[in-house]
Amino acid sequence: MFQKILIANRGEIAARVIRTCKEMNIQTVAVYSEADQTAPFVSLADESYLIGKPRVNESYLNIEKILKVAKEAGAEAIHPGYGLLSENAEFAKKTEEAGLIFIGPDAKVISKMGDKIAARAEMKTAGVPIIPGTEEAVASPEDAMACANDFGYPVMLKAAAGGGGIGMQAVYNDEELEKAFEGNSKRAQTFFGDGKMFIEKLIENPRHIEIQVLADKHGNAVYLFERECSIQRRHQKVVEEAPSPVLSDETRGLMGESALKAVKTLGYSNAGTIEFLVDDKENYYFLEMNTRLQVEHPVTEEITGVDLVEQQLKVAAGEALTISQEDLEIQGHAIEVRIYAEDPNTFYPSPGQITKLVLPEGEGIRNEVAVTGNSKVTPFYDPMIAKLIAYGANRDEAIDRLTKAVHAYEIEGIKSNLTMLKRVITHDKFKAGETKTTFIQDYYLPTLTNH
């Protein structure tokens, strides 16, 4: 096992990785920007190094600087967390070339699955159901319209690279598609350095359900059941739970086996997630693969008792999985809410000085936090500042515990999405498990005009 690793990330995920490393007696090296000098993760690590100015391209995306620090600090491996460089194939490759171990899959796999068009082709080869769509990028609005008319509106216009809902838009006719094409292509080029677009048939009112997988370098692989991630704003998740409140055991098994087919076809190792769209009849279609640890991984940990960071470290160190599919079973229910420094009415980021932070406590409550009661939230990074997870013996108990915890949560000095989360998790449709990807626009946004 490693003696020392560097964490090429920030915020709550850096703190999360450090926690498991401490339990495994692995020393940790943190890197931080000028804006994060007083962030909790910096002091939690055994060693911390300033790597640049606040903007990510001058700090957290500076591959050469990160690798230089890793070598100087004597780290043997690098954990990329999520976001930032976690799915950057060049970073994975350069890490290996520097004589260090990348705690994640092979660079070639990252590259392949990072291009959604290539990923669709791989899944088709693996026998995983895919949404009808273009096999190659569409070069112009005219090409896009021709394809859309072949498939039949509505369709989803999507960026081939990246994630987080950037460069993605549902369109219902030629006029909308023509307007959407250029803007989304430009956004994708700006954020991901790749403006390629493609078209998929729109699956209307679906659920977003993903399968967590673990695979080692010895050919062993397991799936750790599913997470329901349908409640989203701007195509980005805000509430996640495990297991799904509606998925049948039969479909769960089929989706798990499809995920394992994907893993084996790719020769994948480490933790990963296969994301699917699921319709009312439980037909499921491949959406994308995230070749990293997910933001929402805690809910899977809660219902399986498996520390996913620990498993990542063991697999990266060359160890074989000691978990078999037969060992895994769903125990209870867990729900996570993402807490953002943002205006709950507009979803715009709300940077500023936190003046008070009170975290809820109690049985089944887990906090993952990036800030303290006097932290300054800067405009340079994703506005997610914490995650709150509630576990219960069943979904009703998890909801009850979560509701009490969200109401006990206090953040002052900045705006947060706590009021939105309160409305979502107490809504009758949420309690009934009717959590489609349109939930926010159907049940939350209409309430804003009445308040």
**Which residues form the catalytic set?**
292
Closest by Cα among 441, 383, 420 to 12: 383
**Coil, helix or strand at residue 396:** helix
Query: What is the dihedral sign for C-alpha 384, 204, 300, 30?
Result: negative
CA distance 240 to 221: 24
CA distance 41 to 28: 10
Enumerate the β-bridge partners of residue 159.
Answer: 197
Question: Are residues 24 and 30 in contact, defined by beta-carbon separation less than 8 angstroms?
Answer: no
β 77-79/101-102 pair status: parallel
Closest by Cα among 437, 436, 8, 87 to 288: 87
CA distance 357 to 249: 41
Angstrom distances, CA of residue 382 to CA of 44, 62, 234: 21, 17, 14
The tokens for 355 are 């003046």
Quick one: which H or E segment has residue 424?
A: helix 418-425
Burial of 187 (0-12, 13-18, 19+ CB in 10 A): middle
E strands present in 15-153: 27-33, 47-52, 77-79, 101-102
Helices (H), 98-140: 107-114, 116-126
Angle 158-298-22 (CA atoms, 0-180°, nearest 5)? 120
β 236-242/333-340 pair status: antiparallel
Closest by Cα among 390, 410, 409, 393 to 401: 390
Q: How would you list the strands of the sheet with 77-79, edge to edge?
A: 47-52, 27-33, 4-7, 77-79, 101-102
Residue 372's CB is within 10 A of a number of other CB atoms, namely 11
CA 422 to chain centroid, in Å, comes to 22
Quick one: which H or E segment has residue 387?
A: strand 384-392
Q: Which residues of 154-175 are buried (b: 16+ CB within 10 A; e: fewer)?
A: bbbbbbbbbbeebbbbebeebe
Phi/psi at 259 (5° precision): -65, -40
